[in-house]
Amino acid sequence: MSKNRLLVVANRELFLTSTTKGSSVMPSDVKRFVISGLKTMTLAGVGLVLLLVGCQHRLIYYPRSYSNQELQTALKDGAVKMEVNTSSGLQTAFYFPSHSSGKSFVWVVCGGNGSLSLDYTQYLPRWGRDTAYLFVDYPGYGLCSGSASPAGIRESFLALREPVSRALGVPVESLGEHSAVIGHSIGCASGLIGAEVWGTRRALLFAPFTTMTEMARLVVGRPFCYLNRHRFDNIEQLRLLGARDGRAIIIHGTDDEVIPVEMARELSRLHPSTCQLEEVPGATHNDVLHKASAMMGDAMRELQNMK
């Protein structure tokens, strides 16, 4: 073996020996540190997943019951309880008959996730009483049993078809032509579900989101937003509304701090032939109905007179 090759072999053995000796202490410490860090990250990730899966209902819905005073006020104003049974238990909506005889039309009102439907009766003087109104609470809200979910809300609308048709004096199959929905926040998604069930073609939407999963992305980011189990999807529901030759007027505050106005713009962009967007300068999430009162009545009349 030549002298140069001996030198290379010797240097290689020296390098390997040095590396082995140097790794006898430090790599084990580093290894323990890395394993400990990975365990901590894994436990934190699993904990967050369990929190989002187990507690997401409480992050979305804020149900409460009616006080006796709220109920008595509504009943004195002419409200009639409409009680139906679903797999969630007894569901109670409130029907306000029209003050005009011969008017077979009902506006279905669905509120936000922290509201009860009767909270919106304060707008009845502005809306007028020449049509009927149905104020729908979600399972777990107001007098309703159960726990809110898209499926539970759909069931409620299915069960309400017959009693509402009977109150209006119209066949069940034509209920869609005698109805329109008003929704606020998550009530837009609920109202659009009801519109699909009834075949309704008219919707007045205040501060709608695109999808609940996209709302979750704004709060917890990706990939955790995909753990959302309450798949409200206004993009799809507006597509279905358009397929029925329907129309939606969207009213959204430019300063909405809960659901950004960009979501309403996205809905309008995706469904230009179905949606008409009206932005209210300076309006926030909870005062948009107040600040839009001037255009609200016009929008309702426009939709109601739609052929």
3-state helix, strand, coil in the chain (%, to 5): 55, 15, 30
**Cα(233)–Cα(267) distance, integer angstroms:** 11
Residues 74-121 have pLDDT tens digits of 999 999 999 999 999 999 999 999 998 778 999 999 999 999 999 999
**Cα(8)–Cα(275) distance, integer angstroms:** 78
Residues 31-63 have pLDDT tens digits of 666 665 555 655 445 454 544 555 778 889 999
- 304: which 2 tokens? 């109601």
Domain ranges (residues) in the chain: 3-60, 68-304
Angstrom CA distances, 84 to 3, 81, 88, stand at 98, 10, 10
CB-neighbour burial class of residue 131 (10 A; exposed 0-12, middle 13-18, buried 19+): buried
The class that CATH gives domain 68-304 is alpha beta
pLDDT, residue 23, reads 47
Write down the pTM of the prediction: 0.83
Residues 204-237 have pLDDT tens digits of 999 999 999 999 999 889 898 889 999 999 999 9
Average pLDDT in the chain? 88
Contacts of 42 (CB under 8 A, 6+ apart): none
Half-sphere exposure of 253 (CA within 13 A, CB side): 19
Amino acid letter, residue 101: S
| CB burial readout 242-280, b (16+ within 10 A) else e | beeebbbbbbbbeebeebbbebbbbbbeebeebbebebb
